Each structure stands twice: as C-alpha cells, then as structure tokens.
C-alpha cells in the first residue's frame, strides 16, 4: 500500500467520521461510494470493508459527546444494536449471493429514495 492510498483512506475515514458525528449517518453512505470510486473496490468489497470498519468502538467519542448532552436513549440503542447485529448477518448473506452490478444499483437506489424523501417530504 502506497502513501497516496493511505492518505485517501485517512481522508475517507475522517470524512465518514465527521459526517457520522454531525448527521448520524452510517459510515456506509460515505465509505462505500468512496471505496468504489476512489479505491476501485467492487461493491461487495466496499460493503464488506465498511461493515468491518464499524466492528469496534468507531463512534465511542461521538457517543460520549451525545451522552454528555443527555441525547441518547440507551433502551432504544440496545434494541437497535442487537437487531442491527442480526440484520447485518442476514443482509450480508443475501448481498454475497447477489450480482455486484445489481447490488450497486440497489445501493444507489436506496440512497436516491432516502435523499428525495428527506429533501422534498420531510416536515422540518
């Protein structure tokens, strides 16, 4: 791995972390497209790498800041985390059995639907 690749990965990580801390987005909205477009990953490789990134205490410092402001509902967080774990397992099994081109289109379609809904149909 060369210096340019390391720098690109550092920028991707910082951007994903900042946007996650600011907007609460999963790193996948930043990490997956960045790995596909800038690092030449397949959709499967990008999604797998993004999921692996989230394994350990990625959000610990951001969560600490939200905790300080009493902005975390731990009951909800625990329920979501547990089911997220199960859903991640099932979802990865499904994704790994799909064609990469179809998976990329599904990912892009989801981002598009979410963007249109948030831009044009959110209440405030």
Tens-digit pLDDT profile for residues 29-47: 888 888 888 999 888 888 8
pLDDT of 58 above 70: no
Q: Are 8 and 39 in contact (CB under 8 A)?
A: yes
Long-range contact pairs involving 28-36 (C-beta distance under 8 Å, separation at least 24): 29/111, 32/107, 36/104
Domain ranges of the chain: 3-55+71-120
Give the per-residue pLDDT at 24.
66
CA–CA gap between residue 36 and residue 39 (Å, rounded): 6
Given a contact cutoff of 8 angstroms between Cβ atoms, the answer to whether 95 and 44 are in contact is yes
pLDDT tens-digit map of 84-120: 778 888 888 998 898 999 989 998 898 898 889 879 9
The two tokens of residue 61 are 């410092």
Q: What is the pLDDT of residue 74?
A: 87
Query: pTM of the full predicted structure?
Result: 0.65
2-37 pLDDT, tens digit each: 999 999 888 888 888 777 766 667 667 888 888 888
- pLDDT of 56 reads 59
């Amino acid at each position: 791995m060369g210096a340019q690749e390391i720098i690109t990965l550092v920028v991707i990580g910082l951007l994903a972390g900042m946007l996650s801390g600011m907007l609460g987005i999963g790193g996948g909205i930043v990490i997956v497209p960045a790995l596909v477009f800038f690092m030449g990953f397949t959709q499967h490789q990008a999604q797998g790498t993004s999921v692996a990134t989230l394994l350990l205490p990625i959000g610990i410092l951001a969560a600490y800041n939200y905790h300080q402001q009493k902005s975390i509902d731990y009951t909800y967080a625990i329920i979501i985390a547990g089911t997220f774990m199960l859903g991640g397992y099932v979802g990865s099994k499904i994704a790994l059995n799909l064609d990469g081109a179809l998976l990329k289109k599904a990912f892009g379609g989801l981002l598009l639907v979410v963007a249109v809904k948030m831009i044009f149909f959110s209440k405030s």
